[in-house]
Amino acid sequence: MVQMKTVGYFDGIDPELLTRIAANGFCTLPLANDFDNYGKLASHLEPGDVDLILGYLHKIVPPLRACDDKTSPDAFRGLRPVDLLYRARSYSIPVLIVVPGEYHKQAKKLLGEAAEFVKIVKPEDLEKKVKEILEF
């Protein structure tokens, strides 16, 4: 039996792109970011669950809580982008984060350590990058 590759995606990814991915023989799996409960928690992925992760920046960067030290706000329940995507890094799952080109510099800053292993892509380049990774 042939194992189909699976694309994990955070809420907001273009449904037409997801449909084209499915029409080309790949599975799709909604992912949650620990604060919106959209799908399977990305921080709980196991090896083989997904072969690629897609998401917009705002789904990866947790909401900040107010704190006394204004120079270092706590992230949502202590969660940072690198924590949310820890399993992706551990299991070498490619991650494409969608950000308009003019905001790539800010995105890298917001992603912190996660910027070291995710690929930031412009919305208009997302499908091309998906096809390169999935080889279709």
In a domain, 44, yes or no: yes
In a domain, 111, yes or no: yes
In a domain, 30, yes or no: yes
In a domain, 1, yes or no: no
pLDDT value for 38 = 76
The set of residues, in sequence order, having a beta carbon less than 8 Å from that of 1 and lying 6+ positions away, is none
Number of domains in the chain: 1
In a domain, 43, yes or no: yes
Per run of 10 residues, the mean pLDDT along the chain (length 136 residues) is 86 97 96 82 93 96 61 57 94 98 97 96 98 95
Range of the domain at 18: 6-134
In a domain, 78, yes or no: yes
In a domain, 66, yes or no: yes
Model pLDDT for residues 39-75, shown as the tens digit of each residue: 899 989 999 999 999 999 999 987 765 454 444 444 4
DSSP per-residue string spanning the chain: -PPPPEEEEETTS-HHHHHHHHHTT-EEEEEE-SSS--SEEGGG--TTS-SEEEEEHHHHSPPBPP-S-TTSPPBGGG--HHHHTHHHHHTT--EEEE--GGGHHHHHHHHGGGGGT-EEE-GGGHHHHHHHHHT-
pLDDT value for 34 = 74
In a domain, 20, yes or no: yes
pTM score, two decimals? 0.88
CATH code of the domain covering residue 35: 3.40.50
